[in-house]
Structure 1
Amino acid sequence: MRRSSCGEWLTHEFFLVINEFEFKDRYEWYSTDRHIWENKAVLSDDIILYMMDFLNWVPSFNPETKESGNGLNYYGITVIHNVGADKLISVLDKWLNLFDEAPDTFSLRGDTIWKEEDNGEGYWEQTINRMNRERMQSELNQLIGLAVKATNNNQLIIHFGI
């Protein structure tokens, strides 16, 4: 998994909130409530990056720009309404079925990064992310569970990116 510059694992957090959620207070809410909030899912950045092209099919809303669109705001906040939650369930369910076929541990391609030698020579290197099937499925199932609750109870999912 990828780490931030301070050594922490990079994650994306998803929270189930009521439709009347006060977005003007979102950063204060995040600072005070994120650790005690029960209806949440946390996905590793490696999973999000690998699936990003497919997550771009999910209708969403950016509260910073006040624009509707598709996909996740990687570095910021994304709101997923009912239609987006339905699409999220559909996309993630298909990924879960695919990962049923994976071995217990497997590799996914990561970023292509530039590496430099001490002599100044450089080269591109493809990173590889080692994944645990059960952990990945658990993370995806948590997010599917939030999306099902959002759809059934007319609630929102708020995504906080890295």
Structure 2
Amino acid sequence: MSLEHGFFLVPNKVTYQELMRSNEKNLDVIDSLDISDDLIRYIADSLNWIPCKNPAILMTKESVGINYYGVTLFDQTSAATLESIITAWHSLFMNSPEKLELTGEFVHSSNKRVLGGRERLEFRRNDVLESLERLLSMITRLGEEDLYLYHLGI
């Protein structure tokens, strides 16, 4: 079972505490999406450029990047950068073969005689593109309407 990051598009009146108490059946959740942790880790460096807030600390304190293990709040000030970055990844992955193979993180071997190596991440291109398109749809609404996009880390 793979770890996933959740994305929830909600009206801006929904607080962090309300989202944590709710579930996807909550009428306040406009749209939601889960994205594989492997994919998030692969694109993580570029996600560190996005302006955001960490609602678990201070709603008013500006920050950048996703809170990998916690909650990140994206609002209208995040939308343009977030959309640009996700669009760029979508365009890049459109050129990949159907079996999308990416280089993951370095893994250590438990056998002292065998050196570690990089893990191989495998995705179906169309699944990745579909996830990014759904995320882009949420981001577009974030930029046009008075909404929040919450990211719930692993």
Pairing of 1:31-70 with structure 2 (within 5 A): 33-34=23-24, 37=29, 39-66=31-58, 67-70=61-64
Q: Which runs of 5 or more residues in structure 2 are unaligned?
A: none
Equivalent in the alignment of 2:148: 156
CA distance in 2, matches of 1:76, 1:104: 32
CA distance in 2, matches of 1:87, 1:41: 19
Letter in 1 for 2:53: F
Pairing of 1:1-162 with structure 2 (within 5 A): 8-29=1-22, 33-34=23-24, 37=29, 39-66=31-58, 67-117=61-111, 120-121=112-113, 123-162=115-154
TM-score when scaled to structure 2? 0.90
In 2 relative to 1, CA 103–21 (structure 1 residues): closer, same or farther, beyond 3 Å? Answer: same
- Percent identity over the alignment is 27
Q: Which runs of 5 or more residues in structure 1 are unaligned?
A: 1-7
Give SS of 1:78's match: strand
Give SS of 2:117's match: strand
CA distance in 2, matches of 1:69, 1:22: 18
CA deviation vs aligned residue, 1:105-142 (integer Å, no higher than 9, x gap): 1211111011112xx54532210101211000001111
In 2 relative to 1, CA 22–114 (structure 1 residues): closer, same or farther, beyond 3 Å? Answer: same
CA distance in 2, matches of 1:144, 1:126: 30
| Shift, 1:22, TM fit | 2.1
CA distance in 1, matches of 2:34, 2:25: 11
Letter in 2 for 1:105: K
Give SS of 1:20's match: coil
Give SS of 1:115's match: coil
TM-score when scaled to structure 1? 0.86
Q: Is the 8 A contact 2:99 2:123 kept in 1?
A: yes
Structure 1 runs (4+) deviating above 6 angstroms are: none
Q: Is the 8 A contact 1:41 1:146 kept in 2?
A: no
CA distance in 2, matches of 1:106, 1:147: 24
Give SS of 1:116's match: coil
Aligned length: 150
